[in-house]
Structure 1
Amino acid sequence: MSVLRKGGVSSRGSAAKVVHAAASPYGSRRLVVETDGDVTVAYLKDARDSVVGATWVANHRKAPPELEQARLDAGRPPLLPESHLRDPSGRKALDGESLEVVWFEEGDGVAVLEAGDPLFVIPGWSDMGRGIPGYARDATRQSPFAFPLDEEIEDFGPRIDLAREHWKRCRADGSWAEFQQSVLGHLLQRLGPSGHYWHDVGRQLAGGRTGVAPTVGVSERPARGGREFTVLSTVGMSRQRMPTVELYEDDVAPYGRIELAVASTLPSQKAGSIFPWLAQYPWRSVTWFAPGDVVKWYHEARTFPLSSGESSWEGVLLLDDPSRLAGPEAPALTGLTLNGDAVRWLWLVPITGEEHRYAKSEGSDALIRRLAQQGRSWVIS
């Protein structure tokens, strides 16, 4: 059983017992609640089993007057001192069967309820390396091991309710079809009739496993009328907010929900092969796609989906305003909202490895200006 430290891995020693464990619907985070009989702690771990967030949960015997350094030195989680507790006498052991795990919609944080009441929360911003633990109901004062949940319950309470409603809605019969039709209807209005549709493209990078959220399809909108290029758009990324946005933006609503699009004169099967890599990326990697972001291809350049004999693409630029580059006028895709959040479409523009490094060094605005000066089109051909 590890002390509450970033990167620590529970030893599962003879004194450690797992009270409850659960994986997020996206498979990128795992919650482990452990006890040694004296104290219960909770760890939020990544796919490599490293601790990314943690919190003390409860003492199960009389609290010491001060923090016991000997426990920490021995690698054991702390008993919070009596000055930090609602009930210094300690509480009974947790019953794992009575715990309800509620993952936040974004998948980067989790709440655990006991008999319907919030027991603790480990939000996405919990970072033991920076001294930011989770929030526990039984804590009354801040410490490096737990913050008082009562101080933030006005914010966490509604968020937990929204998360429960989100997952309930996702599990409901016909829920996916209803969402899918709303996006397809929007694309019909903006881009005209559909062509091919590819379902659950992200599963290709999930090892073929079904049930790994989110489900994302791709809709083809062939060239028509005055539009000489085909548009391929994801359908499903906007169904859930992306992780970690709140760490960078005060208002999540304009940035939390996206779909990705490609404008291309290439065969649709080839152009669309970019999406299995990116469709689940934010939730798989616990990050978000912001306008202007550049994303590096994870494999050799020659295997990049949009590569041809003359290109050396190694990543993509995510562009929210195609008019900043050369090319025809872009179709307006704004107007779709979900749960009060506007859905933003980001257009994929392939870039070289050198251009990716330039954006990382000088910023994406500098890269976009350079591409514009070079006459780079936002339409892939």
Structure 2
Amino acid sequence: MNDGPIVLAEEPNSRHTLYAVVEQDERTAYFYLYPAELQSRKYKMRACWLRNLKPGPLKRDSEAMVNGMAPMLQASLCNHPGGKEPLQAERLSIVWFPEEDGAAVLYDGDVLGVIPGWSLYEDEPVAYAADCTEADANGLVFPLGERGRNEQYERVAEAVSFRRMWEDTTEPQWTPIQQNFINTYERYFGKMLQYFAIDNNQWPPMALGKFEKDNIIYFLTMGVSIRPMPWVSHLYSNNAPAYRRMELALAVSKLDYTEDEIKKMAEGLSVIADIPWRHISWLGEGHTIGSAKLPAPFESLVLSSALYTGESIELPEMYGDKVNLFWASPVTLAEREFAHRKANGGYELLEKMIEEDITHIVKRRQEII
């Protein structure tokens, strides 16, 4: 009699948008990524077979799927055709990749199964298992293969190292990162006037620095780039390191806006900082984000590095990756709708803004659409 699967391990990512779960019944063990309720319309559950606990079937286990059970992998595709001992919960551990859209399960520290983040965005799910020896024709699972032949081993090792670094209290990671960014920003915008934590006491630490130069108030983030953004590896593949990390900036003219208006705009910027991980998305050149913190007639922010007209700013690298600095510029409803009317419309909006001599410095202006 099958009493249903038992949960052996469960761990959400830091924003609880996805849940990594290892389940086992009397026949087989699986690793799953479940989207949270708010994400369930956009993303589907992803599954990774881990092992059979009984002799594997000679062909696809269609009967189990018809009966709503996790299918066993056929015997010819795994390294234990006669079945393997059940997994023990205390020997399992789960590690999330830094983007927090994919994860791996380890057994006694060895990689047992991997669901890469880019699988979340594919129509056909992809997963890798150490005990799989040949790919399932129906895409149930792929072999993890030998170390050195599958990049997933390296990615998991990097993820484990990344997490351990941040958990190591004897060598704090945040202090040097924080100081590097402050030093960089002060070279261009003068002494930092105020420092605001914007991470809501969640990992990773993120902050907003306030600066002033030539009647312009500047707000620049630091710490956002600690995590690579979701989606980017899927979209840019080998070029992802040039696009997956960002910091945000806002420059507002004191001659055009009051102190309170500037403060509210800065609050809007701080909310944007965590959007990629709260919504499993990404931000880049020409992207628009709604904000209730903007003075009329503006209702959204467009992000751009192209609008910047000042001295070239070289941000510190983050874990070997380039960090992009996007300046937030307020736009009206009509301008945002123009940007959304077709793919890459944000670039067209930015072109029009540049034609109208609109720069990274926020000033009062007329609607251009």
TM-score interval for Structure 1 and Structure 2 normalised by the shorter chain: 0.7 to 0.9
**Alpha-carbon distance change, 69 to 364 in structure 1, aligned in 2, over 3 angstroms:** same
3-state SS of paired residue (1:164): helix
**Which residue number in structure 1 is paired with residue 366 of structure 2?**
none
1:367 positional shift: 1.0
2:331 to 328, 331, 351: 351
Q: TM-score, normalised by structure 1?
A: 0.85
Task: Give the Cα–Cα distance (whole angstroms) in 2 for the partners of residues 182 and 129 of structure 1.
Answer: 37
**Which residue number in structure 2 is paired with residue 198 of structure 1?**
196
Report the identity percentage.
26
**1:161 aligned to 2:157?**
yes
1:215 positional shift: 2.3
| Aligned-residue CA RMSD (Å) | 2.0
Segment of structure 1 superposing worse, 30-39 or 163-172: 163-172
Task: Give the Cα–Cα distance (whole angstroms) in 1 for the partners of residues 311 and 215 of structure 2.
Answer: 12
**Which residue number in structure 2 is paired with residue 103 of structure 1?**
96
What amino acid is aligned across from residue 53 of structure 2 in structure 1? H
Task: Give the Cα–Cα distance (whole angstroms) in 1 for the partners of residues 28 and 99 of structure 2.
Answer: 29
**Which residue number in structure 2 is paired with residue 180 of structure 1?**
178
8 Å contact from structure 1 (residues 322, 330) kept in 2: no
What amino acid is aligned across from residue 180 of structure 2 in structure 1? S
Task: Give the Cα–Cα distance (whole angstroms) in 2 for the partners of residues 74 and 276 of structure 1.
Answer: 48
**Which residue number in structure 2 is paired with residue 146 of structure 1?**
141
**1:27 aligned to 2:30?**
no
**Which residue number in structure 2 is paired with residue 63 of structure 1?**
56
What amino acid is aligned across from residue 141 of structure 1 in structure 2? E
8 Å contact from structure 2 (residues 307, 358) kept in 1: no
**Which residue number in structure 1 is paired with residue 266 of structure 2?**
272
**1:261 aligned to 2:256?**
no
**Alpha-carbon distance change, 176 to 127 in structure 1, aligned in 2, over 3 angstroms:** closer
**Alpha-carbon distance change, 260 to 127 in structure 1, aligned in 2, over 3 angstroms:** closer
8 Å contact from structure 1 (residues 103, 111) kept in 2: yes
What amino acid is aligned across from residue 264 of structure 2 in structure 1? K
Task: Give the Cα–Cα distance (whole angstroms) in 1 for the partners of residues 114 and 284 of structure 2.
Answer: 26
**Which residue number in structure 1 is paired with residue 65 of structure 2?**
72
Deviation sequence 1:175-205 (CA, Å, 0-9, x none): 2122111111111122221011101x242xx
8 Å contact from structure 1 (residues 109, 123) kept in 2: yes
Task: Give the Cα–Cα distance (whole angstroms) in 2 for the partners of residues 356 and 111 of structure 1.
Answer: 39
**Which residue number in structure 1 is paired with residue 340 of structure 2?**
360
Instruction: Give unmatched runs, 5+ long, in structure 2.
Output: 364-369
**Alpha-carbon distance change, 377 to 128 in structure 1, aligned in 2, over 3 angstroms:** closer
Q: TM-score, normalised by structure 2?
A: 0.87
What amino acid is aligned across from residue 195 of structure 1 in structure 2? L
3-state SS of paired residue (2:341): helix
8 Å contact from structure 2 (residues 250, 327) kept in 1: yes
What amino acid is aligned across from residue 245 of structure 1 in structure 2? V
Task: Give the Cα–Cα distance (whole angstroms) in 2 for the partners of residues 88 and 222 of structure 1.
Answer: 68
Task: Give the Cα–Cα distance (whole angstroms) in 1 for the partners of residues 338 and 134 of structure 2.
Answer: 46
Instruction: Give unmatched runs, 5+ long, in structure 1.
Output: 1-12, 204-209, 298-303, 324-328
**Which residue number in structure 1 is paired with residue 220 of structure 2?**
233
